[in-house]
Structure 1
Amino acid sequence: MRVLHAVTLHSPSHAFGGPVRVALNLAKGLRARGHEAGLLALGEGFAGPWPTEVEGVPARLFPARRLLPLGFSGMTSPALLASAGRLVRDADLVHVHLARDLVTLPVALAALRAGRPLVLQTHGMVDPSGRLLAKVLDAVAVRRVLRGADAVLYLTAHERAGLDAVVGAPLASAVRLVNGTPAQEERPAPAGPPRVLYAARLQARKRPVDFVDAVPAVLAVHPEARFVVAGPDEGERAAVLRRIAELGLADRVSVPGALGGGEVLRELRGAHVYVLPSVDEPFPMSVLEALSVGVPAVVTHSNGLARDIAAAGAGRAVDPGPAGVAAAVLDLLDPAANRAASVAARELAAGSFSMDAVLDTLLPVYEGALRG
């Protein structure tokens, strides 16, 4: 089976975050099972020759052009748009990681026009919105592709309700599919001063400043601890640096910027605790990656993984804000608690969120779309 995965943007800094990671993980898993899977996306930020594959996945990347000052929603590529019809016709099935943008929406529309089986996965990016651009795109294209797709994959009940609201009726084609993460080598037993990691986009909803504001309380108990705030800037880097300076934490908190996939794994293997203080986070890949190497995670209660983490003892779920984050980190820096949570984290990732489990759910969806 030839599957085309379309996502908005791939860049060396991984600026588009989780949807690209999900697309790559699925494509790699499909290829391991004997299918042909490739990636279609905009590209940006490559200094040398543009890659024709990403992590072993064949990739067609088109130079991004920013037509409107609307972040990812204002990016497109005339060359990609001109090639979309041919590219979807070359696939047996088109899997679009859908956002309200000028990349994934045109690809989904091209698949409908070509009569190709179409699977959409929205990653929490298509929800009810009062913004004018969202209303226009919903009226012109979003409802059409949601109704026309053979399957629409969602992560949480909250996301499913939002999709139904966008369409204006229950989606009969909706199927729940969790994110998965490949098996990873277990981290070594933590050694040296405590090391606490945040590795996600520096974006307001993800609340990296809450991470910084939790640092003094942790340092009061563990004055030798070190903290890392890593990730591409989406508007909050200046606030993070300003807060670090205000609290006098420059010698305790490092801000290395965007990290590649291998660099993130190296940071995780050296971390005692992973923290993602974001609110209303659907199903964060960074947390799954932390669990997969055995790093206990601290998340807020509105995180889509919070119940699983709390029930398994793989970390802690807390109320938003630095006080809850600090208390949970201190709890997990206890060696016995950290060991127990690390074992639970590995078991949770391998049992509930393995790529094999995800693909076992996804492939029957593909088969149904091909039959339909």
Structure 2
Amino acid sequence: MKVLHIVPLVSDDSAFGGPVRGTARQSQALTEKGHECQILGLWRGAGDTPDEVLGVPATLYKFKRLPGHRFATALSLAPLRWIARNRKSVDVVHVHAGRDLWILLSMLLMRTLKIKYVWQTHGMLAPRNRLVYKLYDLVLTTPALRGASQLLYLTDYERRDLESVGREWGLVHVVNGVENIGELADSLSLPSSNEFRLAFISRIHPRKRLIDLVKAVEKVNEQGGNVYLDIYGPDEGALAEVTEEINNRSLVSHVSYKGALKYSEVRSTLREYHTMVLPSVNEPFPNIVLESLASGVPVILTKSCGLAPYIEDYKAGIVVEPGVDGLTRGIIEMMKNPREREHLRRAGLKLAEDKFTMSGVATELANIYGGVAG
């Protein structure tokens, strides 16, 4: 089967790291099962436009930012022309996006051309109450939803979101997956001193609540801890505020911003830390948590994360209330109990193996594609 995956943006700073990396992994696993996959999207970065994403053939067009509405930040007609020219060369299209303007236009085009497509929103289609959003959804989002043969959701919360914006049929639960589970998990390159090292790897966005984590590090150290936090990720509008907070609290020796990671650097970077912390709220199904589980790195995350029920069920990490106090408690608990940390590490590997293998996800996707393509 020939499958086209559409993503909003591929960039050299991994701005859409989770969905893009997940898409490439799905493509790799599907290819191993005999299917033919390629990726279509926009490219933002230095140098020539790449012709592959993590080894998957890709057709990418230059990204140009537009002023105005947050969803209409990019518009390119080139991918739409590509879809029209190549419509007979694909059996099904898998769209990975939210309300991105050019993506919605591409789905409306596919609906008109009777190209079969499934839509995986990755938790990015929450209902909006402002009038401008409602008009946007009425004109673009709702027609695109109606044209999708199947809608793939990650959590029950996301399913309710999809139902609330007008789609109650053809909903299929599909989780994200991760490959190479346990590979090099025992070769963690941790410091031999009494430092306790935390990593945050995600977009630097207000929803990530990174300032809460900075304040929690300060509180733990005030209570006698020796915690160091390294922050990785592209700036999505919150880096200046986070940097100011670090400076105002005189934490520059304990909290550092390390820039964005390439997709290929995530695993090796994770293995340098005792724990990965994700303080964000309402995070649908973060790939960085799956990466951590598969790498044998324990996690701390909030109860509002879509992966929290899995973590609690397997006792594979520490789940806390959102906010400074909850994060502080979680860090202290993780830091003071190395034996429990080892238990969490092994439970995380088992959780990844039981629930989130990419091979299992690829098998499920192939069955969905087959049903859609008829």
Q: Partner residue of 1:92?
A: 91
Matched with 2:169 is: 172
State the AA in 2 paired with 1:292. A
Equivalent residue number for residue 242 of structure 2: 240
2:251 paired residue number = 249
Q: Is the 8 A contact 2:126 2:158 kept in 1?
A: yes
> Where does residue 179 of structure 2 map in the other structure?
182
Aligned partners of 1:221 and 1:177: how far apart in 2? 43
Write out aligned runs for 1:59-98 (5 A). Answer: 59-71=58-70, 73-98=72-97
Shift of 1:17: 3.2
Q: Which residues in structure 2 correspond to 1:110-129 (within 5 Å)?
A: 110-129=109-128
User: Using the alignment, how far apart are the partners of 1:153 and 1:297 within structure 2?
Assistant: 26
Matches within 5 A, 1:190-201: 190-192=190-192, 193-201=195-203
Q: Aligned to 2:42, what secondary structure does the other structure show?
A: strand
**Structure 2 letter corresponding to 1:294:** G
Cα distance, 1:249–1:187 mapped onto 2, change above 3 Å: farther
Pick one of 337, 362, 365 that aligns with 1:359: 362
Whether 2:366 is the aligned partner of 1:369: answer: no
1:205 aligns with 2:207: yes
Secondary structure at the aligned position of 1:299 is classed as: strand
Asked whether the 8 Å contact 2:198–2:274 carries over to 1, the reply is yes
Partner of 1:310: 312
The verdict on how the C-alpha distance between 1:86 and 1:311 changes in structure 2, with shifts beyond 3 A counting, is same
Report sequence identity in percent: 39
Distance 1:9 1:268 in 2: 24
Secondary structure of the equivalent of 1:94? strand
Deviation at 1:5, TM superposition (A): 0.4
CA distance in 1, matches of 2:233, 2:144: 32
In structure 1, give the amino acid aligned to 2:355: S
Q: Which amino acid aligns with 1:269?
A: R
Task: Give the CA deviation at 1:89.
Answer: 3.3
Paired with 2:91 and 2:224, the residues of 1 have a C-alpha distance of 56
Q: TM-score, normalised by structure 2?
A: 0.94
Per-residue CA deviations over 1:182-233 (Å, capped at 9, x if unaligned) read 1242152544222101000011111111111111233245644321111110
How far, CA to CA, are the matches of 2:211 and 2:254 in structure 1?
15
Distance 2:66 2:216 in 1: 39
Deviation at 1:336, TM superposition (A): 0.3
Counterpart of 2:229 in structure 1 is 227
TM-score by length of 1: 0.94
Residues 92 and 117, structure 1, Cα contact 8 Å, conserved in 2: yes
Label 1:8 to 1:262 Cα distance change in 2 as closer, same or farther (>3 A). Answer: same
State the distance in 2 between where 1:40 and 1:78 align. Answer: 13
Determine whether 1:24 maps to 2:35: no
Counterpart among 334, 338, 341 of residue 341 in structure 2: 338
The residue that corresponds to 1:39 in the other structure is 39
Distance 1:119 1:78 in 2: 21
Cα distance between partner residues in 2 of 1:52 and 1:44 = 13
Q: Distance in 1 between matches of 2:102 and 2:25?
A: 20
Tell me, in whole angstroms, the C-alpha distance in 2 between the residues paired with 1:58 and 1:131: 39
- State the Cα deviation string for residues 137-156 of structure 1 (Å, max 9, x = none): 32122212212211110111
> Against the structure 1 CA distance between its residues 253 and 217, is the aligned structure 2 distance closer, same or farther, given a 3 Å change threshold?
same
Q: Residues 157 and 141 of structure 1: is their aligned pair in 2 closer, same or farther, counting only changes over 3 Å?
A: same
Segments ≥4 residues shifted beyond 6 Å:
none
1:15 matched to which residue of 2? Answer: 15
In structure 1, stretches of 5+ residues that fail to align are: none
Does 79-88 or 252-261 show the bigger shift?
79-88
Tell me how far apart the structure 2 counterparts of residues 199 and 69 of structure 1 sit (CA, whole Å). Answer: 29
Structure-1 residue corresponding to 2:292: 290
Q: Matched residues in 2 for 1:131 and 1:16: separation?
A: 25
Q: Distance in 2 between matches of 1:88 and 1:6?
A: 13
Query: For residue 173 of structure 1, what is the amino acid of its counterpart?
Result: G
Q: Which residue of 2 aligns with 1:278?
A: 280
| Equivalent residues of 1:4, 1:88 under 8 A apart | no
Consecutive unaligned residues of structure 2, counting only runs of 5 or more, are none
Q: Contact between 2:66 and 2:72, CA under 8 Å: does it hold in 1? A: no
Conservation of the 8 A alpha-carbon contact between 1:7 and 1:103: no
Root-mean-square deviation over aligned CA pairs: 1.6
Deviations 1:274-310 (A, max 9, x none): 1001111111111111111011111111100011111
